[in-house]
Structure 1
Amino acid sequence: MRGSAVFKPLSGKTVIVTGASKGIGRGIALRFGEAGLNALVVSRTLSDAEKVAAEIGPNASAFAADVTKEEDCKAMAAAAIERYGSIDVLCANAGIFPAAKLGEMTAADFDHVMDTNLKGTFLSVSAVLPEMKAKKAGRIVITSSITGPITGFPGWSHYGASKAGQLGFMRTAAIELAPWNITVNAVMPGNIFTEGLDGIGGDYIASMEASIPMKRLGTVFDIANAALFFASEEAGYITGQQMVIDGGQVLPESLMALQEMGAAS
């Protein structure tokens, strides 16, 4: 069956977005809300989540949860079912990225990042499984990164390990959950312009853009659109896969490759 040239609408379905108060998570929540999904906007601080839910409109509501805590994740899933009747999509986006170089990084620093980024993904996924398994349908989209699975950056060895770990988790989870028609995929952002870059200066942003073949930073909606695709019915035969959204950042083998591109143009 070839199907329609237009993707089937997701309106009326329910998405949970963790880490949704700012940055990529906020962009994902806004984009899914725009597509007509009921959105549970999750953040550690309720007031921050409420601001984003208000931006989306009446089909969104806020919930406070710490994804490092199992009871919070279970309460998050229960709230989505109570408010909207189902959980169709989980966007496991919550993550932190404090910098600390080896030799200075403490065990507590390492554990904090792993607990939030990797354990938080596991707990969020575990919390939505009873509902998804009961319906025999679901979409799980994990926000990983190019940092860790593909690239590295000084000060982010713990962050990179957590993001690579998410992909390892994803592959086995995809196998285990396939019998219930639950897909598990990941988006892998490159350099994305978020609130965190405000005030760092044009020179720094220009240097970042110079390392990207498309010569611009990505937007949060570039990531959100990829997540929305993974959530679509049309992506139902895709599982255990990752999509790099980086403007070609990981492609050049050296700075010379980008300089050659400039010379050719």
Structure 2
Amino acid sequence: MKRLRHSGRVVLVTGAGGGIGAAIAQLYCEEGARVALVDFDEAKVKEQVALLRAGGHTVEWAKADVANFDECAMACDQLVKKLGPIDTLINNAGVSPKHDGAPAPIWEMNPDEWERVVGINLTGSFNLVRALTPSMVERRFGRIVNMSSVAGSAYLPIVAAHYSATKAAIIGFTRHLAGELGPFGITANALAPGRIETPLLKTVSAAANQAVVDETPLRRLGTPLEVAKAACFLTSDESDFVTGQVVDVAGGWLMR
């Protein structure tokens, strides 16, 4: 029988309407957690909720733009009332805009696009942490995983400057959280995925994805489930003494 490592836990996943976020939510459900899904795309998140509930899992959802603190705080309040105090936060929501399959060069980048990417990828993580850590501090327990990227520590021409900047900032943010929140029994770690087979890849040319495969020691792209497994490990009892770390889920691509 599979051991339910997250039985009794309440987990909130942002950007849970599809791709990596949906896989993370699914795995936490399978591991016994009650799961809260937060996404801006109401139709997509409702579809995921229906699938998970059909499997007998306890799932609730809330619509929120993670870049907006008031919406995040309201969503958290609603979800806590339905599921109880949130133990685990997975800041997965993120965007990487493309234009005809290519990132905008810095000299052509629309300032509004910069602000939107920073708002979702970086400020969004702050907003959820700010909304949920008071309760974690009070209860002297919490688990946080922020989604960085291999682009946070290496130059990748397949993403734009705003994406790399936010993913690098997430690493610093995570390490600061680990130091500040550690005395309260709260761990904070980051995941740095490489090329993962999600709908986002459809915005990039097949040649660009193949080039990554050719540079990856495991000679393939990753799967959303593999990222989900890493998240579940970092928030399980097996990693109680692990905090402030950045774990690459990249098949050896861009090893540091």
Q: Do both proteins adopt the same fold according to a TM-score greater than 0.5, normalized to the shorter chain? A: yes
> Is the Cα–Cα contact under 8 Å of residues 23 and 195 in structure 1 kept in the other structure?
yes
Mapped pair 1:191 → 2:195:
yes
Identity of aligned residues (%): 34
Pairing partner for 2:251 from 244, 247, 261: 247
**How many residues are paired up?**
247
How far apart are 1:45 and its partner, in Å?
A: 2.1
How far apart are 1:213 and its partner, in Å?
A: 1.0
Stretches of structure 2 that go unaligned for 5 or more consecutive residues are 98-102
How far apart are 1:87 and its partner, in Å?
A: 0.4
Pairing partner for 2:8 from 9, 12, 23: 12
Pairing partner for 1:21 from 5, 17, 20: 17
How far apart are 1:185 and its partner, in Å?
A: 0.3
Change (3 A) 1:203 1:116: closer
Aligned pairs for 1:60-209 within 5 A: 60-98=59-97, 99-198=103-202, 205-209=209-213
Q: Please, what TM-score do these two structures have when normalized by structure 1?
A: 0.87
Distance 1:129 1:167 in 2: 18
Change (3 A) 1:54 1:241: same
Mapped pair 1:237 → 2:241:
yes
Distance 1:199 1:109 in 2: 16
> What amino acid maps onto 2:190 in structure 1?
A
Q: What secondary structure sits across from 1:118 in the alignment?
A: helix
> What amino acid maps onto 2:127 in structure 1?
L
The match for 1:224 is 228
Distance 1:39 1:77 in 2: 12
With 156-165 and 22-31 compared, the bigger mean Cα shift is at 22-31
How far apart are 1:34 and its partner, in Å?
A: 1.2
Pairing partner for 1:42 from 23, 32, 38: 38
How far apart are 1:194 and its partner, in Å?
A: 0.7
Change (3 A) 1:216 1:133: same
Cα RMSD between the aligned structures? 1.9
> Is the Cα–Cα contact under 8 Å of residues 7 and 234 in structure 1 kept in the other structure?
no
> Is the Cα–Cα contact under 8 Å of residues 61 and 79 in structure 2 kept in the other structure?
no
Change (3 A) 1:200 1:238: closer
Distance 2:193 2:203 in 1: 21
Change (3 A) 1:168 1:7: farther
Q: What per-residue deviation string (whole Å, max 9, x for no partner) do you get for residues 205-226 of structure 1?
A: 4333212111110000110000
Q: What per-residue deviation string (whole Å, max 9, x for no partner) do you get for residues 18-56 of structure 1?
A: 011111111111111111111111100222111111222
> Is the Cα–Cα contact under 8 Å of residues 15 and 38 in structure 2 kept in the other structure?
yes
Stretches of structure 1 that go unaligned for 5 or more consecutive residues are 1-5, 253-265
Q: What secondary structure sits across from 1:36 in the alignment?
A: coil
Q: Please, what TM-score do these two structures have when normalized by structure 2?
A: 0.90
Q: What per-residue deviation string (whole Å, max 9, x for no partner) do you get for residues 63-95 of structure 1?
A: 101111111111122122101111010000111
> What amino acid maps onto 2:71 in structure 1?
D
Distance 1:76 1:136 in 2: 22
With 197-206 and 161-170 compared, the bigger mean Cα shift is at 197-206
Distance 1:199 1:124 in 2: 28
Q: What secondary structure sits across from 1:237 in the alignment?
A: coil
How far apart are 1:11 and its partner, in Å?
A: 1.3
Distance 2:207 2:66 in 1: 36
Distance 2:89 2:159 in 1: 29
Q: What secondary structure sits across from 1:147 in the alignment?
A: helix
